Structure 1
Amino acid sequence: MSFTVLMAALVIGHILADFYWQPMSWVNNRNTRHFRAKKLYLHVLVHGVTTALIVTWWELIYGWQDVLRICGATAIVMVTHYLIDLAKSYSSKGVVPFIFDQLAHLAVILLLAIWLSDNSDFFIAVWQWLIAPSTLWVLCGYLLILSPSAVFIRMMLERITAGFSATGSLPAAGQSIGMLERVLMLTFILLDQFAGVGFLLAAKSVFRFGDLSASKDKKLTEYVMLGTLLSVTVTLFIGLAINYLRA
């Protein structure tokens, strides 16, 4: 319980300090001036103060142990946050550096919460969860609906439509949309929320109706319908199989 409370509080503090209490001008200053950016040090200080307040509050609730733990936790967050943000300032601006940046911060927070709460059994519990058959089958399902399913659906569409391709769309947009669509559908199926699958299909139909009506192209309409139905069929089959295997 104490670990969960501390972890949640630290994550909330990180979100507030990183997104709500950091103006875009600070980010631009860091990206242009790097280690010379004064705003970077101010941002790190905000994270340090936030961490110190959270850890102090947590210590008071769950039994005061040592002020050095608060100082140590604050120093760890400030130093690691400075190094991670500094490294990000030299990277190319995009979604991948952003994801790695946030994952690095969350990893620090996780290790910090484990240390402060003396939760030594955490890694054992995580390892047991990772090697559980149900977890492995779910992982297998998500892997199948991404690249392998995309290849299968593309091959089926090329065979059925004799090489027809929709022009005027973004490169690989259809494949990316299909992958995201199957991830959402599989998630709904694994959670036994089949109504969510119906909602997803209805929402997609609403967005595509205008394009298909305006194009007045029967081949395009059939192509979209075939792609959608193939995607749904493959995902339903995989999802139901995973539910059966992990039962």
Structure 2
Amino acid sequence: MSFTLLLIALFLAHLVADFYLQPMSWVNERNSQHFRATKLYLHVLTHGIVSFIILALWEFNYGWSELARVVYATLLIMLSHFLIDLAKSYSNKGVIPFLLDQLAHSIVLVMLAVWLTDYDEFYALIWQKLIAIDTLFVICAYILVLNPSSVFIRMMLEKITQGFATSGSIPAAGHSIGLLERGLMLSFILMGEYAGVGFLLAAKSIFRFGDLKASEEKQLTEYVMLGTLLSVSVTLLIGMSTVYLVKLF
């Protein structure tokens, strides 16, 4: 309980300091001036203050009441945040650097939470939650509905439609829409919210209706319907199989 509580508190502190207490002007200055940006140091100081408050409250309520540990942990957060954000300022500012940046911060917070709490609780949590068989089933399900399903659906469409291809679309837009669509549908199925699947399909139909109505190509309508039905069928099969296996084991 203490590990989970501390980790959530540190993560909330990180989100507040990183996304609510950091104006965009600070980010722009860091990206342009790098280690010479005064706002980078101010941002790191903000993280230090917020983290120190969280760590002090936790340490003197649930920890060993050692101020030195609070100071060490705060300094580690500040130093790691400075190095990670400085490295990010030299990147291409895309989605991948952003995700890697947040992942690096999260790893630091997890390591600090493990150090400040009971190691046994952390390892028990990892074993019970992350390595549990139902968790592995769910992970496999999400992996299956993404790229493997995309390959299967594309092969089926090419076989049925004999190479028919849409024109005037954003490159890879259909693939990205399919990934999001199947990911959302699988989430609804695993939560038992089948109404959400219906809502998602209805929303997609509304957006697609205008395009299909305006199009004079019957092939395009059939192509879209085939793709949607194949996507839904594959996701339903994977989702319902996962729910069955989780209950079985």
TM-score of the superposition, structure 2-length normalised? Answer: 0.94
Using the TM superposition, give the Cα deviation of residue 193 of structure 1 relative to its aligned residue in structure 2, in angstroms: 1.3
For 1:200, the equivalent position in structure 2 comes to: 200
Instruction: Write out the 4+ residue segments of structure 1 that deviate beyond 4 Å after TM superposition.
Output: none
Residue 71 (1) aligns with residue 71 (2) = yes
Contact 1:6 1:58 in 2 (8 A): yes
Cα deviations by residue, 1:29-62 (Å, 9 ceiling, x for unpaired): 1111111111111110000011111111222333
Structure 2 vs 1, CA of residues 100 and 200 (structure 1 numbering), >3 Å: closer, same or farther?
same
Residue 240 (1) aligns with residue 233 (2) = no
Using the TM superposition, give the Cα deviation of residue 63 of structure 1 relative to its aligned residue in structure 2, in angstroms: 5.6
Count of matched residue pairs: 247
Gaps of at least 5 residues in structure 1 are: none
For 1:185, the equivalent position in structure 2 comes to: 185
Cα deviations by residue, 1:51-78 (Å, 9 ceiling, x for unpaired): 1111112223336611101101110100
Superposed CA RMSD: 1.5
For 2:144, the equivalent position in structure 1 comes to: 144
Contact 2:63 2:116 in 1 (8 A): no
Query: Map of 1:65-104 to 2, 5 A cutoff?
Result: 65-104=65-104
Query: Map of 1:204-219 to 2, 5 A cutoff?
Result: 204-219=204-219
Contact 2:3 2:121 in 1 (8 A): no
CA distance in 2, matches of 1:237, 1:2: 39
Residue 41 (1) aligns with residue 16 (2) = no
Contact 1:150 1:178 in 2 (8 A): yes
Structure 2 vs 1, CA of residues 106 and 235 (structure 1 numbering), >3 Å: closer, same or farther?
same
Cα deviations by residue, 1:69-99 (Å, 9 ceiling, x for unpaired): 1101110100000010011111111000000
Contact 2:145 2:235 in 1 (8 A): yes
Using the TM superposition, give the Cα deviation of residue 119 of structure 1 relative to its aligned residue in structure 2, in angstroms: 4.1
Using the TM superposition, give the Cα deviation of residue 239 of structure 1 relative to its aligned residue in structure 2, in angstroms: 1.1
For 2:165, the equivalent position in structure 1 comes to: 165
CA distance in 2, matches of 1:157, 1:178: 13
Contact 1:114 1:120 in 2 (8 A): no
Range that drifts further, 133-142 or 171-180:
133-142
CA distance in 1, matches of 2:63, 2:100: 34
TM-score of the superposition, structure 1-length normalised? Answer: 0.95
Structure 2 vs 1, CA of residues 150 and 167 (structure 1 numbering), >3 Å: closer, same or farther?
same
CA distance in 1, matches of 2:205, 2:82: 47
Contact 2:34 2:90 in 1 (8 A): yes
For 1:17, the equivalent position in structure 2 comes to: 17
Contact 2:63 2:117 in 1 (8 A): no
CA distance in 2, matches of 1:202, 1:69: 54
For 1:109, the equivalent position in structure 2 comes to: 109
Q: State the AA in 2 paired with 1:186.
A: L
Structure 2 vs 1, CA of residues 135 and 64 (structure 1 numbering), >3 Å: closer, same or farther?
closer
Contact 1:161 1:223 in 2 (8 A): yes
CA distance in 2, matches of 1:164, 1:146: 22
Using the TM superposition, give the Cα deviation of residue 133 of structure 1 relative to its aligned residue in structure 2, in angstroms: 2.3
Range that drifts further, 113-122 or 22-31:
113-122
Structure 2 vs 1, CA of residues 128 and 60 (structure 1 numbering), >3 Å: closer, same or farther?
closer
Q: State the AA in 2 paired with 1:2.
A: S
CA distance in 2, matches of 1:72, 1:120: 22
CA distance in 2, matches of 1:160, 1:179: 21
For 2:8, the equivalent position in structure 1 comes to: 8
CA distance in 2, matches of 1:210, 1:60: 61
Structure 2 vs 1, CA of residues 159 and 52 (structure 1 numbering), >3 Å: closer, same or farther?
same
Using the TM superposition, give the Cα deviation of residue 146 of structure 1 relative to its aligned residue in structure 2, in angstroms: 1.2
Using the TM superposition, give the Cα deviation of residue 176 of structure 1 relative to its aligned residue in structure 2, in angstroms: 1.1
Structure 2 vs 1, CA of residues 147 and 113 (structure 1 numbering), >3 Å: closer, same or farther?
same
Using the TM superposition, give the Cα deviation of residue 128 of structure 1 relative to its aligned residue in structure 2, in angstroms: 4.1
Using the TM superposition, give the Cα deviation of residue 235 of structure 1 relative to its aligned residue in structure 2, in angstroms: 0.7
SS in 1 for 2:207: helix
Structure 2 vs 1, CA of residues 86 and 116 (structure 1 numbering), >3 Å: closer, same or farther?
same
| Percent identity of paired positions between Structure 1 and Structure 2 | 63
